[in-house]
A and B are shown apart, each in its own frame.
Chain A
Amino acid sequence: MSEQTQAFNIDTVDNAAVTPEVELPWAELGLKDNEFAEIVKILGRRPTAAELAMYSVMWSEHCSYKSTKTHLSQFGKKVTEEMKKDLMVGMGENAGVTDLGDGWAVTFKIESHNSPSYVEPYQGAATGIGGIVRDIISMGARPIAVMDPLRFGAIDHEDSQRVVHGVVSGIGGYGNSLGLPNIGGETVFDPIYQGNPLVNALAVGALRHEDLRLANASGVGNKVVLFGARTGGDGIGGASVLASESFDDTKPSKRPAVQVGDPFAEKVLIECCLELFKASLVEGIQDLGAAGISCATSELAANGDGGMNVELTNVLLRDSTLTPGEILMSESQERMMAVVSPQNVEAFEAVMAKWNVEYSWLGEVTDDNRLTITWNGEVIVDVDPSTVAVDGPEYNRPYARPEWQDALQADTFRSSEAGKNLPASGEELKAAVLQLIASPNMCDKSWITRQYDRYVGGNTALASPDDAGVVRIDEETGLGVAIATDANGRYTYLDPYAGAQLALAESYRNVATSGAIPAAVSDCLNYGSPEDPDVMWQLAEGIRGLSDACMELGVPVTGGNVSLYNQTGDKAIHPTPVVATLGKLDDVARRTPSGWREEADGQAIYLIGTTKDELDGSEFANLRGHLGGLPPKVDLAAEKALGAILINASRDGMIDSAHDLSEGGLAAALSEMVLRYGVGARVALDEIKSRDGIDAFTALFSESQARALVAVPRSEEVRFNDMTSARGVTVARLGVVDAQSGALEVQGEFTVSVDDLREAHEGTMEKYFG
């Protein structure tokens, strides 16, 4: 160890007070000059090295939301009393909690782990699952399922091999080892994500009301304990350096900033925490994720009613050469911090011994409103915890509608070269359907999902490729939840306000399609650099659009995450707000699957909703390399009406299967319903062509919103038609399920065999990733 490092190690508060001239590496740690000046002002002196480390990570974009706070507040404001009714814990905690009734509650959250997953795909994706699962445990819940919306670069780009294989095996390797079923997600390929893949992870947990736990340190004299894995040198500065800056070829490799996961340690930690909760042995609990001990100590102290003393040399280390600053910043995985009252210390230690989990007592809760951290008794941190955890910087970053937005919106698909010579004959339409369902975005993704355990737990009622993942929570009553995640970066690029609303509309629709009543939303806002006014405008419009739509649909946002700086050089990703909607099912046995089986032979197939000429931003336009115009029109009232139909029809047994129409329109939805169980159908487009004034091509490939396909048993048709007409919802009877034909027949246009559909649909992922 060099002289310099030794000196760095013992930079005490007393030393800082008398050595104002010492140069500190604040810029390297990601702080701006005004931010450093603010820290000096708060402390009335220069920070110590350890304090600088804490402020730098906690004031990073990733932890402080400094560019978005001012906009995100809309999610808290645009809320009605009705929307708050079932909300037990809202935004700001580790995850939001929603009441399900019967004493049950559910907590869920979606988060990004984008940058680490590009630098080191396996570990980045794995620890993304690990982190979100610990958020769920921190609420006192048992995690019950995970989902993962993924966006990669071009399917045929050589680097996609590295990223896709790594990310998928990382999610599988970690999630499968935790015993959590992976019930869905999405996979999108687009060159715009080449250097900035999006790896979002969602976890959901269930708890009894009385098991709810929050992250705060209360009760003077209560003990602070760190338990789980030891602290190592991995993930140092992950939040500040990696997640809060753009990638740049000229900078050195950031691999050391990526954490390394151990799923076995996490699985043991889950069981160990649940045992602590059951015996009521912890007063407050916080997981260690971004910013590690800096975050856990300052947030626990800031949310509690006093202060906290911590002796940092008590932290168990994997690497004894770590400096105090590194220990504070390390993002080593599988660690938790808890506050335990003195009378529970012995019982706490017994649980640790049973599960063979290492722990160390770091200090205790005080009443002086200070977070004091010592190193061998010498004070190296003495701060007001709120200044670290809560009152970070806040920016009103300039934003403006990009100059190019008008030209982009004027460039419609129909008016472009790509929009000429559209398929019209039966043969051309058939070829287009096969091309569509074989395309990277629309092809079968079971190459990915079969690497995930979807059965563990025995409560999975629906999973990918169904519209929503459905998990049972209470075996006695069948009470459960449905979750779907959706986003469309192309729509959002064309219109950031509408695009965010369309993401919500689709996930809301997917949840309703499964038969569940939408109840809560979590969002992961993936955008480029907030320092670019164009991107900042996309972000501001996205948040405004999403919060308006949540209000209109009556579903509150309970938490989520913002991921910025997803850009390489000055090329930002498409704005990609991923929206997860959670719905409630009183009995998961009533959930609606997304395809028909043989015994559905003869059931009537209805299309709910109307079809307009909406091809801008569509998958068909994407096949021809076109992106311009305006995305499909948002109609939230129609979405609500459609949702009500799907939920009621499911509850009353009027429909046996249902699938929403989204990317790829009717062509994709029909093909997917046929392929779900390999059972054919006969349909005709005449009615919707004349009613909606469109041609067969538009009927098949338009991506008009608020539509779904349902299969209705013959005995229920009268009731179904009565219900839809009473509610003023447009339906068309397209045809019937045909279990004998082995084909999808679009009468008067084309017939394609189930085998040909399957070959097209299932070959693509295999071809590229084997």
Chain B
Amino acid sequence: MSTELPLIGDYSTPTAELSGARIGVVTFPGTLDDRDAARAVRAAGAQAVSLWHADTDLQDVDAVVIPGGFSYGDYLRAGAISRFAPMMGKIVDAANSDAKLPVLGICNGFQILTEAHLLPGSMIKNDHLKFICRDQVLRVENNQTAWTNGYEAGQEITIVLKNQDGQYVADEKTLDMLQGEGRVAFSYVGWNPNGSRRSIAGITNEAGNVVGLMPHPEHAIEAGFGPDHRGTDGLTFFTSVLTHLVGGKK
């Protein structure tokens, strides 16, 4: 089956793919940003492939995006139930395999990746205890990953931040390790919007194929609909992974 289009509100002619890349977008019960992630994939020139949490077929995708939302209503703990989905088992195996499947976890997707132990640390409730939605400036700390190679090191980008449980925490040793090994992918610039340790907004695994972050690049890919209705800084995530897939950069 090709790209699964939205049930209502669809437009039946997906744009011609600029590359043959197939990027999976996982939907759990309670996932909210799956359509947005699929749109971002298409905007970058790849084909979006819908992956259902209960299935076990990765459909030969070249990379996977785990989008944001409130999978399973954040019950128990954000991401704690979703990590046990059959599809997640396949994704974890593929990410750890020699092929090193590129995986991007956004917001709830980041929470799921930490629960699945693909990335260290965890997210707790924002320090101010409220949901927050704002246009957020980030600094690209590591531009050597599968999802960030199109950015300049140290580049500041503005994408959307929106979460309830976005405070990144880990023990001091892990934080030292992440910083020491250059595995902090993004830091918050200016105000730390949720109390994250060391202003960490996103991290990568050692191999650089798995990246997770709380802010939402998929909401900043189209002029007129992004941060303050014009920013497109998030599109580079999705073009980066295409570059990575054709062997352009790591």
Contact = CB atoms under 8 A, between A and B. Distances in A.
Interface in A498-520: none
Interface in A469-528: 472-476
Interface in A265-279: 265, 267-268, 271, 274-275, 277-278
Given A207-B8, A461-B224, A453 B69 contact: no
Interface stretch (B93-101, B117-125, B129-137, B204-212): B129-137
A206 interface: yes
B11 interface: yes
B124 to A, nearest CB: 17
B223 to A, nearest CB: 9
B199 to A, nearest CB: 19
A314 to B, nearest CB: 25
B7 A451 contact: no
B90 to A, nearest CB: 19
A141 B8 contact: yes
B62 interface: no
Interface stretch (B18-26, B70-78, B235-243): B70-78
Nearest to B218: A458
A268 B222 CA distance: 28
B33 interface: yes
Interface string B1-38: 00000111101010000000000000001101101100
Contact of B8 (A169, A172, A211, A462): A211
Nearest to B226: A455
B132 to A, nearest CB: 6
B244 interface: no
B197 interface: no
B133 A452 contact: yes
A488 B171 CA distance: 53
Given A172-B131, A264-B30, A455-B219, A177 B11 contact: no
B224 A589 contact: yes
A457 B133 CA distance: 14
| Interface class of chain A by DSSP | mixed
A460 B160 CA distance: 13
A719 B208 CA distance: 56
Contacts of B69: 179
A356 B29 contact: yes
B216 interface: yes
A274 to B, nearest CB: 4
Interface string A205-224: 01110010000000000000
A699 to B, nearest CB: 31
A265 B6 CA distance: 20
Contact of A268 (B6, B29, B75, B229): B29
Given A177-B70, A177-B73, A208 B8 contact: yes
A395 interface: no
A750 interface: no
B132 A450 contact: yes
A458 B37 CA distance: 9
B39 interface: yes
B250 interface: no
B84 interface: no
Interface in A141-163: 141-142, 144
B33 A179 contact: yes
Contacts of B224: 461, 588-589
Given A451-B132, A453-B133, A458 B225 contact: yes
A671 B117 CA distance: 50
Nearest to A279: B7
Contact of A267 (B6, B70, B132, B133): B70
Contact of B162 (A169, A265, A453, A459): A453
Interface residues of B, number: 38
Interface string B160-180: 101010000000000000000
Nearest to A593: B229
Contacts of A43: none
Interface size, A (range): 35 or more
A456 B33 contact: yes
A277 B134 CA distance: 35
Q: Which of A177, A208, A262, A474: most chain B Cβ within 10 A?
A: A177
A761 interface: no
B211 to A, nearest CB: 20
B133 A455 contact: yes
Contact of A355 (B7, B11, B29, B221): B29
A453 B68 CA distance: 12
Contacts of A454: 133
A173 interface: yes
B33 A263 contact: no
Contacts of B131: 169, 172-173, 176, 451-453
Interface string B61-89: 00000000110111100000000000000
Nearest to B37: A458
Nearest to B12: A476
B192 to A, nearest CB: 15
A684 B68 CA distance: 49
A457 B222 CA distance: 12
Contacts of B30: 177, 264, 267-268
A459 B75 CA distance: 28
A451 B8 contact: no
Contacts of A207: 8
A456 B132 contact: no
Q: Which of A458, A462, A475, A677: most chain B Cβ within 10 A?
A: A458
Q: Give 7 closest A-B pairs by Cβ, nearest first.
A: A264-B73, A179-B32, A142-B8, A458-B36, A274-B7, A455-B219, A476-B11
Interface of B: 6-9, 11, 13, 29-30, 32-33, 35-36, 39, 54, 69-70, 72-75, 130-134, 160, 162, 164, 216, 218-219, 221-222, 224-226, 228-229
11 contacts: A142-B7, A142-B8, A172-B131, A267-B32, A268-B30, A275-B7, A451-B131, A455-B219, A455-B226, A456-B219, A677-B228
Given A264-B30, A268-B30, A456-B33, 13 more contacts: A142-B9, A176-B70, A177-B30, A177-B70, A263-B73, A265-B73, A267-B30, A274-B7, A355-B29, A455-B216, A455-B219, A474-B11, A476-B11
Interface of A: 141-142, 144, 169, 172-173, 176-179, 206-208, 211, 262-265, 267-268, 271, 274-275, 277-278, 354-356, 449-462, 472-476, 588-589, 593, 677
